[in-house]
C-alpha cells in the first residue's frame, strides 16, 4: 500500500479462528484486506474540514475509489464495505440517492448496510436509490413493508475472496424508532438481535464459511455484547457511533470508522490454517495524496453543480411572518422558535421534550410571508447541528429551564454577566408549558472556563412546568426520566452554561441534523402558518 497516507497502524497479535469447524479452505493461505467507510452522509466530493487549526480538503468518492484500488493491488483479496448512513438531508431529498449509489458503484463497494438516514424520506425514496446500487445490501432484522425494497435487503451474503469463504450478516439498530421517523412509515426493526445473530452465525457455519463478519449499525455496547455472547464472529464492523475504533473482545475484532469519508479504514490480515493471523488496522487519510478517480470526480461534480441550483428551489411557503429577531427569540416565545421545536418533536415522536437554544436560530430579522427554500432554512439554522436524544430527570430539566431563564437580563436582577447563560442560551421549547416570573431571582453560578464551580443561586423564575403526555398536560415529575431533544452543541454543555448535560443519563445521536428536520417539516406541512400558543408565559412585561 505504498504511497498512501496512514493516520495510525495498530496490531492485535495472535490468531483468530475462522467461522467453520469443517470449512473447505483451511489449506488456503491468503492476504485479505477489509476496507470500511461509515456515515458518508452524501459527501460525494472533497470538503474543507478544520483539523488542529488547519483547513484540509478531505473525502469524496473519487478519492475513496483511488485509495481502495491501491489497497486491493497489494493483497490477494479485498472487500469494500459501508457501515451505513451513506445519504443525508437535502442532497438526498433532491436526488433520491442516485449520486451516492452511482459513485459507490463506480468506487467498487461490495456490501453495505442501511443506517437510519436511508429511510429519512421513506422506503420508496430508498428504493429509488437501490435502483442504482448493484452491490449487496444487508440487514437481518430490518422489516420494510415496501416489497421491492424488502427483496433487496438480505440477511447475509457469502463472498469468496482469494479462495476464502467470507460470510457477512447485517444487523440494524434496535432503537431505530427513536432515531428515525420515516415518511410514510412502514419500516421497523426487530430489537431482539442476540438470537438473530446466533441463528445467522450458525447458518454461515453450516455453509462452510472461513470468516464471519457482522456488518452492523447498532452501537458499540451492542457490538461488544455480540462479541462476548456469540461464538464464531470473527469481525464486527459497526457504523452507529461515528467514532474510529479498533479493538479485540475475546476472539472478535471490532472496527468502527468515523464520518464523512475523511478516512478509509483498513483491517488487514492473513488467513492461514483456518485462522485469521497478524491482523492490523490502518486509517488512510482521504486527502489529495491518495489520488482521485477522474471519471467519478467529474460525475460527482456534475451532481454538485445541479445541487447548488436545487437549493434555491421552493420547498414550501409560509402564510405568516416568521420572527427570528434576537430581541424576541432570546427573551420569549416566538412562532419561529415554536416551529423549530415542534419540527423536532414530530420527527422524533418517542421523545418527550425539545429544547432549542435561541442562539442556534439566526437571521435576526422577520422572514416575510412567501416562498421558503433550502437556502432560507440554512440561513435560519446555519450551524446544522446533529439532534441528540438526552435522557434527563425532571429535576435536571428544571435546572436547564432555570439556567435558560437567566438568559433574560433585567436591571438589578443581582447576577453578573459571566455567571449566567448568554442571551442565546434562552430555550425555545416543544412538548412543554412553563411560566416565567422574572421578578424572582435568576439562576447564578460561578464558572471557570466551561466548568461550573459553584452555584450562587439555584433560581426561582420557573414555575408551572407541564409536559404533554398521552394527549394531556401533566406536571413535570422531578424524579421521572424524560427523553429530551437538544442539538449536539447543547448536549456537550454549550458554552459551559449547561455543564451537567455532559453527565446526562444517556446521550444518543439521532440520524438527523437541524436543517434537514426543519426542511422536511416545511415540505410535509406547506403552507405553514405557525402561531405562538402560550407555551412560555411571562408574568412581567419586558
Looking at the fold, whether 186 and 250 belong to one and the same domain comes out as: yes
Q: Are 104 and 128 in contact (CB under 8 A)?
A: no
Which CATH number fits the domain that encloses residue 332?
A: 3.90.780.10
Q: 270, 288, 308: which is the final residue of a domain?
A: 308
1 in any annotated domain: no
Select from 214, 119, 104, 235 the least CA-distant residue to 170: 214
- On whether residue 207 sits in a domain, the answer given is yes
Q: Mean pLDDT over residues 454-481, rounded?
A: 94
Cα(385)–Cα(387) distance, integer angstroms: 6
pLDDT at 23 over 70: no
Asked if 163 and 143 sit in the same domain, the reply is yes
Beta strands per DSSP E along 394-500: 427-430, 432-436, 444-448, 451-457, 462-469, 472-475, 481-487
- How does residue 75 score in pLDDT terms, banded at 50, 70 and 90? very high
Tell me what pLDDT residue 2 has.
38
The answer to whether residues 141 and 252 belong to one domain is yes
* Domain identity same for 264 and 410: no
In angstroms, rounded to a whole number, what is the distance separating the alpha carbons of residues 308 and 134?
Answer: 28
Q: Which residue has the higher pLDDT, 310 or 290?
A: 290
Tell me, letter by letter, the H, E, C secondary structure of 366-419: EECCEEEEHHHHHHHCCCCCEEEEEEEEHHHHHHHHHHHHCCCCCCCCCCCHHH
Residue 227 domain-assigned (yes or no): yes
Same domain? For 376 and 479 the reply is: yes
Give the count of domains, the chain: 2
Query: Does 242 reside within a domain?
Result: yes
- DSSP secondary-structure letter at 431? S
Residues 475 and 351 in one domain: yes
Q: Are residues 287 and 421 in the same domain?
A: no
- If one counts every other C-beta atom within 10 angstroms of the C-beta of residue 407, the result is 22
Is there a single domain that holds both residue 277 and residue 338?
Answer: no
Domain that holds residue 497: 320-538
Do residues 167 and 282 share a domain? yes
Q: What is the pTM of this model?
A: 0.81
Strand pairing category for 472-475 and 366-367 = unpaired
Taking the C-alpha atoms of residue 513 and residue 359, their distance in angstroms, rounded to an integer, is: 16
Identify whether residues 328 and 181 lie together within a single domain.
no
pLDDT at position 242 over 90: no
Residues 366-385 pLDDT 10s: 999 999 999 999 999 988 88
What is the spatial distance between Cα 41 and Cα 341, in angstroms, rounded to a whole number? 24
**Residue 282 or residue 539, greater confidence:** 282
Q: What is the CA radius of gyration of the chain?
A: 25
pLDDT confidence of residue 105: 98
113-172 tens-digit pLDDT: 999 889 988 899 999 999 999 999 999 999 999 999 999 999 999 999 999 999 999 999
Query: Do residue 276 and residue 189 come from a single domain?
Result: yes
In a domain, 313, yes or no: no
Average pLDDT value over all residues in the chain? 90
DSSP single-letter state for residue 536: E
Task: State the CB neighbour count (10 A cutoff) for residue 374.
Answer: 24
Q: How many CB atoms lie within 10 A of CB 320?
A: 16
Of 308, 343, 370, the domain-final residue: 308
Q: What is the pLDDT of residues 177-189, one digit of tens each?
A: 777 777 777 899 9
CATH number at residue 196: 3.60.21.10
Summarize pLDDT for 192-233 with one digit per residue, the tens: 999 999 999 999 999 999 999 999 999 899 999 999 999 999
Residue 483 and residue 515 share a domain: yes
Report pLDDT digits (tens) over 472-494: 999 999 999 999 999 988 888 77
Task: Please indicate, yes or no, if residue 315 is contained in any of the structural domains.
Answer: no
Among 280, 308, 336, the domain-final residue is: 308
Report if residue 314 sits inside a domain: no
In whole angstroms, give the CA distance from residue 19 to residue 154: 20
- Judge whether residue 504 has pLDDT over 70: no
- Beta-strand relationship, 29-37 and 451-457: unpaired
Distance between CA atoms of 159 and 198, rounded to whole angstroms? 20
Distances (CA, A) of 134 to 33, 108, 298: 21, 10, 21
Instruction: Note whether 113 and 137 are within 8 A (CB).
Output: yes
Amino acid at each position: 500500500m505504498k504511497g498512501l497516507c496512514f493516520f495510525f497502524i495498530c496490531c492485535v497479535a495472535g490468531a483468530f479462528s475462522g467461522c467453520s469447524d469443517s470449512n473447505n479452505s483451511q489449506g488456503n493461505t491468503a492476504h485479505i484486506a477489509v476496507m470500511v467507510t461509515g456515515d458518508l452522509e452524501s459527501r460525494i466530493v472533497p470538503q474543507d474540514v478544520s483539523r488542529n487549526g488547519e483547513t484540509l480538503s478531505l473525502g469524496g468518492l473519487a478519492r475513496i475509489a483511488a485509495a481502495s484500488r491501491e489497497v486491493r493491488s497489494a493483497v490477494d483479496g479485498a472487500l469494500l464495505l459501508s457501515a451505513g448512513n451513506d445519504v443525508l438531508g437535502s442532497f438526498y431529498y433532491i436526488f433520491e440517492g442516485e449520486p451516492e449509489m452511482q459513485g459507490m458503484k463506480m468506487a467498487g463497494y461490495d456490501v453495505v448496510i442501511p443506517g437510519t438516514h436511508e429511510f429519512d424520506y421513506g422506503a420508496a425514496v430508498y428504493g429509488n436509490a437501490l435502483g442504482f446500487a448493484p452491490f449487496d445490501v444487508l440487514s437481518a432484522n430490518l422489516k420494510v413493508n415496501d416489497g421491492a425494497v424488502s427483496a433487496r435487503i438480505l440477511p447475509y451474503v457469502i463472498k469468496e475472496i482469494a479462495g476464502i469463504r467470507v460470510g457477512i450478516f447485517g444487523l440494524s439498530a434496535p432503537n431505530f424508532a427513536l432515531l428515525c421517523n420515516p415518511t410514510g412509515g412502514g419500516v421497523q426493526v426487530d430489537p431482539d438481535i442476540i438470537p438473530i445473530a446466533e441463528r445467522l452465525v450458525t447458518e454461515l457455519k453450516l455453509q462452510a464459511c472461513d470468516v464471519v463478519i457482522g456488518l452492523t449499525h447498532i452501537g458499540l455496547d451492542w457490538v461488544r455484547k455480540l462479541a462476548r455472547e456469540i461464538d464464531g464472529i470473527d469481525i464486527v464492523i459497526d457504523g452507529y457511533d461515528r467514532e474510529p475504533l479498533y479493538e479485540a473482545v475475546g476472539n472478535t475484532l471490532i472496527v468502527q470508522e468515523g464520518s464523512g469519508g475523511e478516512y478509509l479504514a483498513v483491517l488487514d490480515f492473513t488467513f492461514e490454517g483456518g485462522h485469521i493471523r497478524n491482523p492490523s488496522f490502518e486509517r488512510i487519510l482521504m486527502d489529495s495524496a491518495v489520488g482521485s478517480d477522474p471519471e467519478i470526480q467529474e460525475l460527482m461534480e456534475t451532481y454538485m453543480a445541479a445541487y447548488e441550483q436545487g437549493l434555491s428551489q421552493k420547498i414550501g411557503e409560509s402564510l405568516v411572518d416568521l420572527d427570528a429577531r434576537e430581541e424576541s427569540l432570546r427573551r420569549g416565545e416566538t412562532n419561529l422558535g415554536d416551529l423549530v421545536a415542534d419540527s423536532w418533536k414530530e420527527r422524533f415522536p418517542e421523545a418527550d421534550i425539545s429544547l432549542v437554544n435561541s442562539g442556534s436560530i439566526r437571521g435576526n430579522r422577520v422572514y416575510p410571508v412567501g416562498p421558503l427554500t433550502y437556502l432560507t432554512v440554512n440561513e435560519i439554522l446555519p450551524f446544522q447541528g446533529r439532534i441528540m436524544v438526552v435522557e434527563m430527570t425532571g429535576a435536571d430539566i428544571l435546572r436547564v429551564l432555570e439556567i435558560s431563564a437567566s438568559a433574560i437580563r433585567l436591571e438589578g436582577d443581582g447576577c453578573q454577566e459571566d455567571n449566567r447563560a448568554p442571551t442565546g442560551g434562552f430555550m425555545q421549547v416543544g412538548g412543554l408549558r412553563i411560566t416565567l416570573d422574572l421578578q424572582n431571582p435568576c439562576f447564578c453560578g460561578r464558572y471557570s472556563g466551561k466548568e461550573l464551580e459553584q452555584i450562587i443561586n439555584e433560581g426561582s423564575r420557573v414555575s408551572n412546568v407541564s409536559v404533554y403526555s398521552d394527549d394531556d398536560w401533566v406536571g413535570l415529575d422531578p424524579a421521572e426520566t424524560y427523553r429530551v431533544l437538544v442539538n449536539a452543541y447543547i448536549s456537550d454543555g454549550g458554552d459551559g452554561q449547561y455543564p451537567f448535560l455532559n453527565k446526562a443519563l444517556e446521550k444518543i445521536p439521532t440520524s438527523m441534523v437541524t436543517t434537514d428536520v426543519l426542511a422536511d417539516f416545511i415540505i410535509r406541512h406547506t403552507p405553514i402558518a405557525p402561531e405562538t400558543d402560550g407555551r412560555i408565559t411571562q408574568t412581567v412585561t419586558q
